[in-house]
A and B are shown apart, each in its own frame.
Chain A
Amino acid sequence: MAIRPPRSDNGADRRTPGSFRDPSGFVFERDGTLYRQVNRAYQADYDRLVASGLARTLIDDRLVIPYSEVDEPPSEPESAYKILRPERVPFISYPYEWCFGQLKAAALLTLTLQKQALTYGMSLKDASAFNVQFIGSRPIFIDSLSFETHRDGTPWVAYRQFCRNFLAPLALMSLVDVRLNQLMQPSLEGISLELASRLLPWKTRFDPRLLIHLHLHARAEKAYAGQTKTKTKTRAKSKASPGGSSPAFSKHALLGLIDSLEGAIKSLRWSPAGTEWADYYSETNYSTGATGRKVDLVAEFLDRVRPRTVWDLGANTGRYSRLASERGASTVAFDVDPACVERNYRDGLARDEQKILPLWLDLTNPSPALGWAHTERSSLLDRGPVDLSMALALIHHLAISANVPLERIARFLRSTCQSLIIEFVPKQDSQVQRLLASRADVFPDYTSDGFESAFVEHFAIERAEPIIETERTLYLMRARPE
């Protein structure tokens, strides 16, 4: 397909900030539609990807995001080969927001792709965890330009990246502490193998796969850290056979490497138990009647707003998030407890839910903008706003546990949504009493009136319904124009 001349207004294209490292192409947005430009530099690999049938197979199997070639003027005509229109992922999430099960699923997807690619004479040149996204409980690979023609005799280019992005964090989460996936946030290139090797228990050196892929791998990196490329290349050239076709690393060895990594990933496990919130619903102060009333009210409010996108902030294991997702809203269920997120994810997986995405998030320190020029990875607010946010049984944790003034909570929630379902939990409530049991009550404004006066600055209160058998009130609010 011939590339059409550029549009005169292509200056309005918004290039996705994180899409600049790979010379094969980039993603841009035009008139609200997402496109991917394939550059001429990737022409040969792209043609093979399509002609071999690999692209079709991976898309049909829902392993790679579906896309179509379109007759759209390129964003950068001088380097353009094709323009693709990929299906849009409902919500972009990052590995430091995933639970253990999500990261493990993303790792296994990446290895499956590499095995499939090798079957078609291609190979993954990029094994970054950021190339995987979730549509509901299913992981899907979004970078369709990550495949290159496999050159016989060469090892896996993305081996180190895979170990840093998947194996190291999963091993640390499984064998040290599940919260260590947070190391992915300051290290967007993945966790240093040397650091992972140092943090992992000594006994992991007796696991042959972890010994090879993490401990020996870290040592090998260190051993070669001081070598210059010139020295290495000269040495390699002197040893390589004429024509450079020495089968130094057979395809059989490559499949063995992938098989070994797959075994290592599958052997890592983590079970959610024993955290503060994992048993929340069985330890809550709600009676059965109160729970039923709250469910009915949330459902009624959702039916009134009919949101297409929902964030449930402090979702626990997702009971109320599912009221939204079952109504067709693309719902992100955030929680600060990794055990809750894991349980929520496993529930969604068991039911093959496509509309609910559980993610880890500390609302008092939400995911920031990260990477080059602070734009490579978006902050939480950059990924909003949504039609509706829910903050159920959350306000007392923000206002009392985290000392955030009510006005600031209202302002923050306004920046997330157009409509808000929020539960006010007064001081008389036993859960708030627990929070105040060991500290001075320095919250004179934390009253029903104080709550309403703080929120009416940013929202119009549409409904305020008491929840029977409790002291709590459930509000439906509409955002005021900013």
Chain B
Amino acid sequence: MPSWFDLPLNWLTGIATDWPAPILAYLDPGTGSFALQILLATFFGGVFALKQSWSNLKLWLSRRFETSPPTADSRSVRNTPSPGSPDNARPTVHGHQTAKIR
């Protein structure tokens, strides 16, 4: 029999099964784990957005009031591609015999 603690969780996770079907994974991802993630999606996204905004604000403020000239280190920015953008990725070596990835 579910405890008093389970009742609201059952109700909420019941709503949370609204994910695109089917989910195919070679490991069983766990229905409860999926439900919990979807249930808390807004929470995770919101907290993450707040943290990012706070970091951006701090960065902006530090740049705004920074007086010293930028150093060589601060000018060198790592070439990180934008999300899902293979065009911006580093050149790759593949599809050739004994092509070393490293």
Contact = CB atoms under 8 A, between A and B. Distances in A.
A224 B13 contact: yes
Given A216-B36, A245-B20, 13 more contacts: A1-B99, A53-B86, A157-B29, A158-B29, A160-B32, A217-B36, A223-B13, A224-B13, A233-B21, A236-B17, A239-B18, A249-B41, A250-B45
Contacts of A227: 31
Contacts of A68: 98-102
Given A158-B27, A248-B20, A256 B89 contact: no
Contacts of A156: 37
B48 interface: yes
A119 interface: yes
Q: Give the residue among B2, B29, B44 with the most A Cβ atoms within 10 A.
A: B44
Interface stretch (A54-62, A101-109, A170-178): A54-62
Contacts of A120: 81, 83-84, 86, 89
A330 B100 CA distance: 25
Main secondary structure of the interface of A (DSSP, over half): helix
B40 interface: yes
Contact of B6 (A23, A222, A233): A222
10 contacts: A54-B89, A66-B102, A119-B83, A120-B81, A153-B20, A155-B38, A219-B6, A240-B19, A246-B20, A260-B47
Question: Which size bracket describes the interface of A in this complex?
Answer: 35 or more
Contacts of A160: 29-30, 32-33
Interface of B: 2, 5-6, 9-10, 13, 17-23, 25-27, 29-49, 51, 80-81, 83-86, 89-92, 94-102
Interface string A1-44: 10000000000000000000111100000000000000000000
Contacts of B51: 259
B83 to A, nearest CB: 6
Nearest to A260: B44
Interface in A78-125: 118-121, 125
Contacts of B20: 151, 153-154, 236, 240, 244-246, 248
Given A51-B86, A220-B9, A260-B47, A1 B95 contact: yes
A305 interface: no
A125 B28 CA distance: 11
B48 A259 contact: yes
A441 interface: no
Nearest to A150: B84
Nearest to B82: A119
Contacts of B5: 219
Nearest to B40: A212
Given A119-B80, A224-B13, A239-B18, A52 B6 contact: no
A245 B35 CA distance: 17
Contacts of B102: 56, 59-60, 66-68
